[in-house]
Structure 1
Amino acid sequence: MYESLKKRFTDQFGTKPGFVFSAPGRTEIGGNHTDHQHGCVLAGAVNLDTVAAVARSERGAIRVLSEGYPLCEVSLSELEAVPAEAGTTKALVRGIAARFAALGHSPMAFDAYVTSTVLPGSGLSSSAAFEVLIGVILNHLGSCGLTAPEIAQVGQYAENVYFGKPCGLMDQTASAVGNIIGIDFADPAHPKIQPVAFDFASCGYSLCIIDSGASHSDLTDCYAAITNELKAVCRVFGKEALRDVPEDEFYARLGEVRQAAGDRAVLRAIHVYEDNKRVRLQLRALENDNFPAFLEYVKESGDSSWMYLQNVIPEGRTARQEVAFALALAKHLLGGHGACRVHGGGFAGTIQAFVPNEQLEEFRGGIEAVLGEGSCHVLSIRPEGGILAEVCSHD
């Protein structure tokens, strides 16, 4: 299965790999931008992954060659953050190795050749899959014994502190753990993970991710504005995260919050409160095999993201509003059936749709006729998270 990948490793590094590792992309099913506020999410690992052929190294460095990109090399003797590396692969690798060291584990040197079907900017979290992949490699090579949620936390640390993106923990957790899970981040150091035994296909629906055609690459300020505005709300109450601000107290002091943080911040906070409750309702609907109710909550979450969270159209954009257009097109093609919503961070990337199987081909054809061939991805849930996929026979 991995013969081509292993050959490319050998061609590039001049030796044979000892292992193949894999980490999946993820789809956010419920809870949009709630994780960084210590909220609740519903997420699933998907059958698109980032894969690496790996060999131990004596060079004292981690070398990662991702297909189509220059070689990334990080010396294990230089693990302090480098501000000039912010936003780069090197920052992620250095940050993950540094976190392993801070946790008392000596990061091991290795070479890796990486390929991915989780396309950058796709909204399926290619960055989290990469972070989990590097974390799983270091965890295995060093026999460190970190759990999947702990590997997720290492990835988040690297992305927050070294890469410079203020992400929550949902993406990494979903990739590291696998399957469909409910996650409660009330205690971010020890998130509560609830496995969900549910098969969307059993309900006669397909899970589709539609590429809007716009990249996330220049939108870090848009994502940072969400967390910064929610922090402004929290400061009114002397708290760090919205989960620690009782909803009734928020509404009791609404005028004061508007004055301090502004109306958009208030609307975004309302979205977080409501989406946290919706995640619990979605979990209950799936547990009770009530898929029609689940779809209604998907629609409600999508409406809330657009109206209150406001992560569908980047600020100031008029002529190009790709996510909004993709949502309008999907809603038209669904014709009142199924559901669609903005997916993941928003502003660009992808939308999500639950499509009745009898409409799937017509739906996909309609999407791709406008947004381009290959823009509609029909996905399935992957049971495994980040894993050692193969031990090569010669190692």
Structure 2
Amino acid sequence: MNEQWAAYQDSKAFADRVATLYGAGEDVRALQKARYGKLVERFEKRFGAQKGGLCFFSAPGRTEIGGNHTDHNNGRVLAAAVNLDTIACVSRTDDNAIVVDSEGFAPITVELDNLDIREKDFGTTLALIRGTAGIMKEMGYKIGGFRATISSSVLRGSGLSSSAAFEVLIAAILDGLYNGFVVDAKTRAVIAQKVENVYFGKPCGLMDQMASSVGGMVTIDFKEQDAKVEAIACNFAAKGYALCVVNTGGDHGDLTDDYAAIRKEMEAVAAHFGKHVLREVELETVESHVGELRRACGDRAVLRALHYYDENARVLEQAAAIRGGDLPAFFDAVKRSGDSSWKLLQNVYARSTEEQMAMGIELSRRFLHGDGAQRVHGGGFAGTIQAYVPLDRLDDYKKLMEDAFGPGSCTALMVRPEGAVMMPMEG
């Protein structure tokens, strides 16, 4: 066994880190000890024995708490980092090359001598790594080589944003190894977003990266280009509830047009008044022109615009309820968000006879009987729903969901209080 890890795994420093990032309990600690130990073992198998200099990094996945389809029209969102994360065992090198060995994927090497944008690499992990180095260098930060083995519990397709966690992780590694871990969380999120937009070739908002980088629960207001971010302390378990996501299944592959239509229709309503996004148009303006909007944009576009305004206001309601410890008010807003997504936004089911999300939401509603809440999670049409379940009924809820949607479909989450972290094996 690696000597550095052998000393660190039973230290108070590691135990405290595990409790903060993943929750208390011997079973949690044992699970993470095995997970991190396996990562060190893979590192030495891939890169050779190490006498020192190893370090861990972690970046969490995120869950959308409120603000369903508001960010792309410069709205507000409420999001939280969660205890499922992407972790890395890392060693700094002097050869000006980054080598990443991610579990389940072929190793990737990025030479830092050439950090040009390459369209042929759009959509690849290689582009994310090269892009992070390129953007950080462009912003004046130091960069350099490293070796890393990476493992993730943020599964692809889980709705918890595995890509953002990876982007934030690579930025944290370069910051930690070469800049003393001085880049603030908001800047790190902006770096990750630029990487995805410019090097990866995918236009995206800032919600996923910001939630992963900052940690805890955050409200983000996208009204201005420099998004306003505010942290909120939150612990659902302390109030007796579990935050769950349920993967109801379904294929996202043929839903691109459905997702795009939501933004397109909202912006069509804004364009009717000579604006680019709905944030630039007052609700009263829309409400007083419903007749002409119906004729110009169609009923669904108007309904989706009305959802946008209501959902934007609900984010403030939810944040105020959490700050004030008023869980019933929070759950009421969550349920109204879910109803609005179903009735106005209309992203619970696509043009299909398969209606998994609708089934998951309705089963949750019937199970909870008003004690808790349920809603669409993320983009909609297929995939995950979100539910707040009393802890003393959690096992029964999991059984119900997994009977309906398969083993492992229901995951109970913890809001992780910290975002991306560096963990030197010391203490």
TM-score, length of structure 2 as denominator length: 0.84
CA distance in 2, matches of 1:331, 1:307: 16
Q: Write the mapping of 1:357-368 to structure 2, written as runs, cut at 5 A.
A: 357-368=391-402
| Aligned-partner SS, 1:193 | strand
Change (3 A) 1:9 1:152: same
Counterpart pick for 2:207 among 160, 170, 176: 170
How many percent identity over aligned positions?
49
How many Å apart are 1:260 and its aligned residue?
A: 4.9
Structure 1 equivalent of residue 40 of structure 2: 6
How many Å apart are 1:256 and its aligned residue?
A: 4.9
How many Å apart are 1:258 and its aligned residue?
A: 4.4
How many Å apart are 1:252 and its aligned residue?
A: 3.6
Structure 1 equivalent of residue 145 of structure 2: 109
Asked if residue 317 in structure 1 is aligned to residue 352 in structure 2, the reply is yes
Structure 2 equivalent of residue 212 of structure 1: 248
Structure 1 equivalent of residue 270 of structure 2: 234
Structure 1 equivalent of residue 26 of structure 2: none
Q: Is the 8 A contact 1:25 1:45 kept in 2?
A: yes
CA distance in 2, matches of 1:202, 1:367: 24
Larger radius of gyration: 2
Q: Is the 8 A contact 2:74 2:279 kept in 1?
A: yes
Q: Is the 8 A contact 1:79 1:98 kept in 2?
A: yes
Q: Write the mapping of 1:1-395 to structure 2, written as runs, cut at 5 A.
A: 1=33, 2-14=36-48, 16=50, 18-143=54-179, 145-189=182-226, 191-214=227-250, 216=252, 219-314=255-350, 316-318=351-353, 320-391=354-425
Which string of whole-angstrom CA distances, capped at 9 and with x for unpartnered residues, describes residues 224-266 of structure 1? 3333333333333443432222222333444554455444333
CA distance in 2, matches of 1:81, 1:308: 40
CA distance in 1, matches of 2:194, 2:258: 20
| Aligned-partner SS, 1:340 | strand
CA distance in 1, matches of 2:282, 2:144: 45
Question: Any gaps of 5 or more consecutive residues in structure 2?
Answer: 1-32
How many Å apart are 1:124 and its aligned residue?
A: 1.1
The one-letter code sitting in structure 2 at the alignment partner of 1:171 is: D
How many Å apart are 1:67 and its aligned residue?
A: 0.4
CA distance in 2, matches of 1:266, 1:131: 36
Which string of whole-angstrom CA distances, capped at 9 and with x for unpartnered residues, describes residues 154-177 of structure 1? 212222333333332111111111
Aligned length: 390
The one-letter code sitting in structure 2 at the alignment partner of 1:104 is: G
Q: Is the 8 A contact 1:183 1:194 kept in 2?
A: yes
Q: Is the 8 A contact 1:166 1:227 kept in 2?
A: no
CA distance in 2, matches of 1:78, 1:215: 37
Q: Is the 8 A contact 2:94 2:144 kept in 1?
A: no
CA distance in 2, matches of 1:56, 1:25: 25
CA distance in 2, matches of 1:306, 1:265: 14
| Aligned-partner SS, 1:209 | strand
CA distance in 1, matches of 2:100, 2:255: 26
CA distance in 1, matches of 2:339, 2:90: 44
Change (3 A) 1:359 1:124: same
- Which has the larger displacement, 86-95 or 3-12? 86-95
RMSD of aligned residue pairs (Cα, Å): 2.3
Change (3 A) 1:238 1:105: farther
How many Å apart are 1:331 and its aligned residue?
A: 2.1
| Aligned-partner SS, 1:154 | helix
Question: Any gaps of 5 or more consecutive residues in structure 1?
Answer: none
The one-letter code sitting in structure 1 at the alignment partner of 2:400 is: G
Q: Is the 8 A contact 1:58 1:109 kept in 2?
A: yes
Which string of whole-angstrom CA distances, capped at 9 and with x for unpartnered residues, describes residues 204-233 of structure 1? 221111111235466444433333333333
Q: Is the 8 A contact 2:216 2:234 kept in 1?
A: no
Q: Is the 8 A contact 1:18 1:392 kept in 2?
A: no
Q: Is the 8 A contact 1:122 1:215 kept in 2?
A: no
| Aligned-partner SS, 2:140 | coil
Structure 1 equivalent of residue 17 of structure 2: none
The one-letter code sitting in structure 2 at the alignment partner of 1:317 is: S
CA distance in 2, matches of 1:85, 1:378: 35
Q: Is the 8 A contact 1:27 1:44 kept in 2?
A: yes
| Aligned-partner SS, 1:385 | coil
How many Å apart are 1:117 and its aligned residue?
A: 0.7
CA distance in 1, matches of 2:343, 2:199: 32
CA distance in 2, matches of 1:268, 1:171: 22
| Aligned-partner SS, 2:204 | coil
Which string of whole-angstrom CA distances, capped at 9 and with x for unpartnered residues, describes residues 103-135 of structure 1? 233432222211011111101111111111111
CA distance in 2, matches of 1:215, 1:230: 24
Which string of whole-angstrom CA distances, capped at 9 and with x for unpartnered residues, describes residues 246-287 of structure 1? 222333444554455444333322222111100111112222
Change (3 A) 1:203 1:11: same
CA distance in 2, matches of 1:71, 1:217: 26
Which string of whole-angstrom CA distances, capped at 9 and with x for unpartnered residues, describes residues 294-350 of structure 1? 111101101111222222223x322x3322222222223223432111112223331
CA distance in 1, matches of 2:260, 2:201: 10
CA distance in 2, matches of 1:260, 1:78: 50
